[in-house]
Amino acid sequence: MTKRIGIVCPGKPILRERADRVLELAARDYPQLELVLHPACTQEHGHFAGDDATRAAALLEYANDPAFDAIWFGMGGYGSARIVGEVLAGLGAAAQDKTYLGYSDCGVLLGALYKQGIGRPVHGPLVGDIRRDDGEACVRRVLDWFAGGMQGIEPGLDSRPAAAFNLMTLAMLVGTDFMPDLSGHVVLVEEVSEHLYAVDRLFFHVTQHLKGVAGIRLGEVSDVPENDRPFGYDEEEIARYWCEKAGIAYLGRAQIGHSAANRIVPFGLA
Amino acid sequence: MTKRIGIVCPGKPILRERADRVLELAARDYPQLELVLHPACTQEHGHFAGDDATRAAALLEYANDPAFDAIWFGMGGYGSARIVGEVLAGLGAAAQDKTYLGYSDCGVLLGALYKQGIGRPVHGPLVGDIRRDDGEACVRRVLDWFAGGMQGIEPGLDSRPAAAFNLMTLAMLVGTDFMPDLSGHVVLVEEVSEHLYAVDRLFFHVTQHLKGVAGIRLGEVSDVPENDRPFGYDEEEIARYWCEKAGIAYLGRAQIGHSAANRIVPFGLA
């Protein structure tokens, strides 16, 4: 049976040629999958793939369409926070039984869906990750998973429920109306393009809000900008420091991040 | 009567020559003030003015010394979050009746002191602001205020209690053990060196946490980095958008920011 997957962009747009590469790859090698790119994905409205109303409507259109089995987020960037309230308010019955897959900024939506118990939120590569070195392997990891394969799953997941987030995205989500209860969860975090002092600051904030989780695992912290001075602690020292201060177990590294190595983490139990 | 003011650096160190310029200015023109630079202010430990224990001990030494009337923070940068818990735990009786003045990263300490009802937290220029164009006027604003002058006070303050923060600093503070109750307060926020999409993201987070405040006023949003695309909304549109979504009154602009124009905002009633 064919699985029908709708691609939408809640934040930045995706370049048409990148989307086409993934559509062609899927058409060629995954006959059991049918990918459909929402036309709003390539719109441009300032930073965004269309204005807030356009992006919310696009997501709602596909999420509420029973002909789709899954929503695959095309790009992150920024923008999910601006539509999450409208999206939650507009989701109907057909949205309940879908998979929603993406990461980075899309973590706002994944977290909010998880809080509401709507569908199956999954952290994993975006369509736009095709642009990366080794991007095809990255995107195939998602296509394989949609097709029923399990080899793309983050290898450290265990019998405890999990959730995975970009650290900044999680920091902006905690304490809001859209933050799920992660008590008892192993929380995987990753970061990109932030100074280490900013990563430290984010850990201060997030660990204060995550008391009660089963532990934190640290993904990649990549593309750290050069600062005028070294921070003095590396990312793992930072994670250990704040976990210890907050009484949270630090559970080691995780294979998630803003790179082609980013693995799949279904929210809850895999 | 001479007012004795201790300078400490909870985050980054201050360059000796900059501190000396301010000490000389005060010695020459403000005989009623005596400024004392803590020796740890010029230490270097990675990003910081000494390691966490050194910075916490320096602040506690001066805050707990009854010979000091005020603590003036020398530099921001980042680092207050790493010592705020230890500082609060170590403050004694002599710390209760002091003024604590600074801004930016120091907002973590100002907020925590305000929460605990310790001393008089005041948002205002740092010693290190002497480095700015027109930095002498900026620093004189604080010296005048320490000497009893009122012309440096932010001109829009009214009969409602106020508090002022760097937006990122406030975003990292909300929901933590150190966040004061700002119900009924006018909250002034400013930002520097953040992309507008990041400012938008911070407003999403902060407005979710500030329900119950009397309103928000927007200070400078300066040194916004060039992005690969325009964001599509300016900083005031961002502030209005999120205030409206959260049911918070947007009360217009404020004269605070990472510039020599940064005014003084006593926490609570001026």
Instruction: Summarize pLDDT for A183-237 with one digit per residue, the tens.
Output: 999 999 999 999 999 999 999 999 999 999 999 999 999 999 988 889 999 999 9
Share of chain A above pLDDT 70, in %: 100
pLDDT means per 10 residues in chain B (270 residues)? 96 98 98 98 95 98 98 97 98 97 98 98 98 96 97 97 98 98 98 97 98 97 91 96 98 97 95
Cβ-defined contact of A82 to B204 (cutoff 8 Å): yes
Identify the contact set of chain A against chain B, taking CB-CB distances under 8 A.
Answer: 44-48, 77-78, 81-82, 85, 168, 171-177, 196-198, 200-202, 204-205, 208-209, 227, 229-233, 245
| The predicted structure's pLDDT at residue B216 | 98
> Which residues of chain A have a pLDDT value below 50?
none
Angstroms from A206 CA to nearest CA on chain B: 8
Structure tokens at A50: 């269309």
| The predicted structure's pLDDT at residue A228 | 83
Nearest residue on chain A to B13, alpha-carbon basis: A229
Q: Which residues pair with B190 in a beta bridge?
A: B166
The number of C-alpha atoms within 13 Å of A238 and in the hemisphere containing its C-beta is: 26
Identify the contact set of chain B against chain A, taking CB-CB distances under 8 A.
Answer: 44-48, 77-78, 81-82, 85, 168, 171-177, 196-198, 200-202, 204-205, 208-209, 227, 229-233, 245
The helix (H) or strand (E) run that includes residue B166 is strand B162-166
Tell me which residue in A82, A232, A245 faces B46 most closely, judged by beta carbons.
A232
pLDDT tens digits, A4-19: 999 999 999 999 999 9
Distance CA A17, CA B31 (A): 69
Share of chain A above pLDDT 90, in %: 97
Spatial strand order of the sheet with A33-37 comes to A33-37, A3-8, A70-73, A99-102, A120-123, A265-266
Q: In 3D, which of B120, B138, B127 has the Cα closest to residue B38?
A: B127
Q: Predicted ipTM?
A: 0.96
List the single best residue of A75, A170, A172, A195 to mutate versus B (max B Cβ within 10 A): A172
Cβ-defined contact of A47 to B227 (cutoff 8 Å): yes
Nearest residue on chain B to A194, alpha-carbon basis: B194
Cβ-defined contact of A229 to B46 (cutoff 8 Å): yes
| The predicted structure's pLDDT at residue B228 | 83
pLDDT tens digits, B147-164: 999 999 999 999 999 999
- pTM beyond 0.95, yes or no: yes
Q: Which residues pair with A166 in a beta bridge?
A: A190
Distance CA B215, CA B184 (A): 8
